[in-house]
Chains A and B, each alone.
Chain A
């Protein structure tokens, strides 16, 4: 059974149809890259998956359960599906360490010392152990995004959604974030990544979806999408990155 399965997903704002008929399936350990031009609905698709946007049609199955059911416990579900944002959205009034321990202590009722020990090892993993006691504002964008990844990991999610995690970064800071994500992928973390980093999508993703105007235009393994592109629009889009 797929971990996340999306069937005929639709989302519209009034008359504006952003997602028209999205079907996708993500197995445990998959890294799904979602690519496409701006305004194609990539981010909306991702945000529908953890219900930051309420879909207007279709179904999303998590371990076989439809998360759009009225009785479905959205809060518990979101604890299992982490999210990293384009603008990091760290909590500015908490130290780096507090950012990471906040949800485990509050939601999982973890013991403070235990949460701290674990947070420090996660910060070590993203290379920021020495920044544990500073406030996010003193970090670079790349460092903030790595803290955000550690914050997600602290909840032991089954999957993490990345919404253009490197788009707000200076070019020289992109690499450090992608490296952390690459390591996560190697460890078998299930990831859905909306990205403009084609090299990352090609090298790290197990599956790639190309979206345009609210539809999935092309999908397949990264080899199929990048090296044996079928659709003309995908070709045109990719050619801008490879030239």
Chain B
């Protein structure tokens, strides 16, 4: 078969592999780490809003949650990258600044999109973990003289966090793979770099196989790391 005869894995290893392991991999790691940290922060803030007694807060969070969970992440990234800057320019025009030129880098757009999207999903995990902590824990803290806020932050949240860590791990693993969606907003990450290389060399099979293997290795390393963290946490759990 012609296709098999034309395969040239050596060339791909020599030309594409160094590119992927260089700036492309660095971008994936950077976006993953920053987005994950932000997502957890956003998750905690939203979860606290959800368990608060404010109806207004519930309404606002619920509204945005519907939007984020009801639209594809890919569409959100594209919207943030292409539409948001235009909207901002329109606002600038309205407020008497017609020459304002808004640009947002694909990396920043990716980080914003991923952290908000994952933040909303993670907030549900944290909220349900907070609500699963026995009411007696809060009462015991209050009875000792802690304020409701201290009871939440020093007694309930530490337990809810421990409970959520395995699920955080799952989200981290999907987050790494979802960074590939940034290829559609021109971010030179693993997938986009691969596609650019293929368009010049037509080494479709070798290149996509290589990038798949790289994602797989990253995921396996992450899974091993998460297992380690989980084991460490469970030792001090109960």
Contact of B137 with A137 in the complex, beta carbons under 8 Å: no
Contact of B237 with A78 in the complex, beta carbons under 8 Å: no
| B224 interface residue (CB < 8 Å to A) | no
Known: A106-B146, A137-B238. A52 touches B140 (CB 8 A): no
Chain B, residues 137-149, CB within 8 Å of chain A (1/0): the string is 1011111111100
Chain A, residues 45-75, CB within 8 Å of chain B (1/0): the string is 0000010100000000000000000000001
**19 A–B contact pairs at CB < 8 A?**
A75-B147, A76-B145, A78-B143, A79-B144, A79-B145, A82-B144, A83-B143, A91-B137, A91-B140, A91-B159, A92-B159, A93-B238, A103-B144, A106-B146, A107-B144, A135-B237, A152-B144, A155-B144, A155-B145
| B150 interface residue (CB < 8 Å to A) | yes
Which of the listed residues A103, A136, A151, A155 has the most CB atoms from chain B within 10 Å of its own CB?
Answer: A103
Contact of B237 with A93 in the complex, beta carbons under 8 Å: yes
Q: Among residues 175 to 195 in chain A, which have CB atoms less than 8 Å away from a CB atom of chain B?
A: none
CB distance from B69 to the nearest CB of A (A): 31
Which of the listed residues B141, B143, B146, B154 has the most CB atoms from chain A within 10 Å of its own CB?
Answer: B143
Residues of chain A lying within 8 A (CB to CB) of residue B237: 92-93, 135
| B96 interface residue (CB < 8 Å to A) | no
| B72 interface residue (CB < 8 Å to A) | no
Q: Among residues 131 to 168 in chain A, which have CB atoms less than 8 Å away from a CB atom of chain B?
A: 135-137, 148, 151-152, 155
| B162 interface residue (CB < 8 Å to A) | yes
Known: A91-B155, A93-B162, A137-B238. A85 touches B142 (CB 8 A): no
| Range of interface residues on B (Cβ < 8 Å) | 20 to 34
CB distance from B146 to the nearest CB of A (A): 7
Contact of A75 with B145 in the complex, beta carbons under 8 Å: yes
CB distance from A95 to the nearest CB of B (A): 9
| A89 interface residue (CB < 8 Å to B) | yes
| B136 interface residue (CB < 8 Å to A) | yes
User: Which B residues fall within an 8 A CB radius of A?
Assistant: 134, 136-137, 139-147, 150, 154-155, 158-159, 162, 236-238
Residues of chain A lying within 8 A (CB to CB) of residue B143: 50, 52, 78, 82-83, 85
Residues of chain B lying within 8 A (CB to CB) of residue A152: 144
Alpha-carbon gap, A93 to B234, bound state (A): 10
Contact of B139 with A103 in the complex, beta carbons under 8 Å: no
Known: A106-B150, A137-B238. A93 touches B159 (CB 8 A): yes
Total interface residues on A, CB under 8 Å, equals 26
Contact of B236 with A93 in the complex, beta carbons under 8 Å: yes
- Which B residue's beta carbon lies closest to that of A108? B145
- Which B residue's beta carbon lies closest to that of A138? B238
Contact of B238 with A78 in the complex, beta carbons under 8 Å: no
Alpha-carbon gap, A102 to B141, bound state (A): 10
Alpha-carbon gap, A78 to B134, bound state (A): 20
Residues of chain A lying within 8 A (CB to CB) of residue B145: 75-76, 78-79, 103, 107, 155
| A19 interface residue (CB < 8 Å to B) | no
Contact of B236 with A85 in the complex, beta carbons under 8 Å: no
Alpha-carbon gap, A152 to B143, bound state (A): 9
- Beyond contacts A50-B143, A103-B146, A107-B146: 4 other A-B pairs, Cβ-Cβ < 8 A, are A85-B143, A91-B140, A107-B144, A136-B238
Alpha-carbon gap, A102 to B154, bound state (A): 10
Q: Closest 5 A-B residue pairs measured CB to CB?
A: A79-B145, A89-B140, A83-B143, A89-B136, A137-B238
Alpha-carbon gap, A83 to B136, bound state (A): 12
| A196 interface residue (CB < 8 Å to B) | no
Residues of chain B lying within 8 A (CB to CB) of residue A76: 145
| A20 interface residue (CB < 8 Å to B) | no
**Contacting A135 at CB < 8 Å: which of B134, B139, B238?**
B238
Residues of chain B lying within 8 A (CB to CB) of residue A92: 159, 237-238
Alpha-carbon gap, A153 to B172, bound state (A): 44
Alpha-carbon gap, A89 to B142, bound state (A): 11
Residues of chain A lying within 8 A (CB to CB) of residue B140: 83, 85, 89-91, 148
Known: A85-B139, A87-B136, A135-B238. A93 touches B144 (CB 8 A): no
Alpha-carbon gap, A151 to B159, bound state (A): 19
Residues of chain A lying within 8 A (CB to CB) of residue B134: 89
